[in-house]
Amino acid sequence: MPSRRPDSTVRRSGSKRTAALAVGALLGALSVTALPATATAAAKLDNPYVGAKAYVNPDWSARAAAEPGGSAVSDQPTFVWLDRMAAIQGTTGARGLRAHLDAAKAQGANLVQLVIYDLPGRDCAALASNGELGPDDLATYQSGYIDPIAAILADPAYASLRIVNLIEPDSLPNLVTNAGGTAGSTTQCATMKANGNYEKGVGYALHTLGALPNTYNYIDAGHHGWLGWDSNLNPSAQEFKKAATTNGATVNDVTGFIVNTANYSPTKEPYVKITDTVNGQTVRQSKWIDWNQYDDESSYAQGLRTALVAQGFDSGIGMLIDTSRNGWGGSARPTGPGPTTSVDAYVDGGRIDRRIHAGNWCNQSGAGLGERPATAPDTGIDAYVWAKPPGESDGASQAVDNDEGKGFDRMCDPTYTGNGRNGNNLTGALPNSPLAGHWFSAQFRQLLANANPPLSGSGGGGGSDTQAPTVPGGLTVGATTSSSVSLSWSASTDNTAVTGYDVYRDGTKVGSATGTSYTDSGLTASTTYSYTVRAKDAAGNVSASSTAVSATTKASSGGGGSTGLKAQYKNNDSSTGDNQVRPGLKLVNGGSAAVDLSKVTVRYWFTGESSSAGYQTFCDWAQLGCSTVKTSVGTVSPSRTGADHYLEVGFNSGSLAAGADSGDLQLRMAKSDWSNFDESNDYSRGTNSSYADAAKVTVYVSGTLVWGTEP
């Protein structure tokens, strides 16, 4: 089991988702003689976590539940680490891959998370998690590790499971920072850069596993304290592109990237922003930040995502953040900014990351559980996940004989005074730790005690504020559609201030809000869901759950309403095969009262042909003024007849009087790569060149369908 090791000494040296390939392509790629045929491939999902019930590993869950208070989190989904070839079939105390998949089906889960982790020369910059394969054992990696995994995943019995693969932690970033010319370099990393086996292995894993119709590959991408400097970020994006186009792989085999795997970097630093200045000095000059462009994982993930798209990865790629051990709660957690006497005092007093140095990575003292796993918690973030199962050690604090290929790394020794990678500081590691991947009870108990958000409303957020907000009241279901539910509730109160609310669907956190309303989307039609809300404050204290409410989504073909609104449409482009779609839309108010346009949305449904395509939208002319009109493209998952996307039109402001219409809205959209559409089967498209009522263009008020029929 690895941990993340930044090399902070080198920082200044100086759709996503394509349709899955047919299984025949997989069979041709594998060097195994007989794989069972799988079901016909279907278009892969834009975000596999949407609508998913993730698998809870019973092996980890039992160990967590056996600890005092551990039952509070033992039902959380964690990744299964396939960290050696023996793990595929199972080892003493840990079931194998097939047994995990069978257990997932028995749980009723439809998403399983795996760590693919056995590269030749693995973890070239550390000893604690070295692997079983030598630097030149690429052929063994392919035939003895990747191929058997693919063979099991290809079994038709598991076709209903979404498989998320975390591809090879601690590999590609080391080629950027530790393969020569820096204080953090090692001869092992230089060897792996020279022989190319990290890139070839990652490429083979991406290509082979990506060929399966139900798999989603996320490449490990370090963390902000490793790759966040200018000199590291773009070279890393280039390295990821190189690996993703090696040994048969293409960028279409990559669903996204994961940051902070098994590390302790906070998801967000609430009191220290990289743009802050103190007495005219930027906080980037502080010893802690040391000219890094980022100081938390959310901003790093967004910055890296931009760099990856610039390298040719699809604009729809999503990011994962490992939040399993980055909560940093407890009494040492700051409750506000530090003093403004200097940039160092400001940063050190306000940062919630309480490590001695951002280069420290092994079994960190003072760490706590972070955000619980959640789907689409922020823009561009597919999910918060627990990639590193809490309670599993990063490495032994002293040398331990073993047959797992794991060495003794001094960064796991609390008495070690450090090296160039951590600024020659103490390691901050907990004492008496076992081998990497083995259960570490003392660490797990610390993570529980310092969890942030806390595990209950009794406090634990840090500092002197231990009072939780009051429970949100009056949780109410508002508008519903076939794919969304709108909620509202009464504001909570707190002794300091309520900073936001977490929304839970069927017991799983699905999002957060700063106000007292939230719309949960991506749901299944004609399905009943249960919702609760919890309030939180700046110290990380979290209220108990609100009273639960149930909401049932509408049937997919539902419609109607009494507002009198309707959509009209005309075709502004007779071609069905060029690279732009040009619908003309008009909103008509046939009711007896004015309508607030800021609450109205209109959807034009179409097929994009390629699920990996990103989209651009344009307002060419509008009688209301294009500054009033806002446009975007949404994904339909699962796709429907004639529609896997929709153009959504909204309005920033304005009112539409009874008997009036919006006037002409001349709209246009194109794919990011300007490839051609095939509009011949688009649900909303018509051939009329003058405005006419359009039942296949849908209108919503506050999320409720009031006109038309969805596909």
Catalytic residue set: 123
Distance CA 539, CA 334 (A): 8
Listed residue (628, 666, 667) closest to 646, CA to CA: 667
What's phi and psi for 357, nearest 5 deg? Answer: -150, 145
**Could you give the CA distance from residue 324 to residue 263 in angstroms, rounded to a whole number?**
8
Cross-strand bridge partners of residue 114: 80, 165
CA separation for the pair 346, 667 (Å, rounded):
49
Using CA atoms, how far apart are residues 625 and 511, in angstroms rounded to an integer? 33
How many Å apart are CA 667 and CA 697, to the nearest integer?
14
If DSSP states are collapsed to H, E and C, what string results for 682-705? CCCCCCCCCCEECCCEEEEECCEE
**HEC-encoded secondary structure of 367-390:** CCCCCCCEEEEECCEEEEECCCCC
SS3 206: helix
**Residues 326, 297: Cα–Cα separation, whole Å:** 10
Distance CA 607, CA 643 (A): 5
What single DSSP character describes residue 543? P
**Secondary structure, 3-state, 126-179:** CCCCCCCCCCCCHHHHHHHHHHHHHHHHCCHHHCCCEEEEEECCCCHHHHHHCC
Output the CA torsion 17→20→25→29 (10° steps): 50
The enclosing H or E element of 440 equals none
Cβ 283 vs Cβ 271: under 8 Å: no
Q: How far apart are CA 319 and CA 259, in angstroms?
A: 7
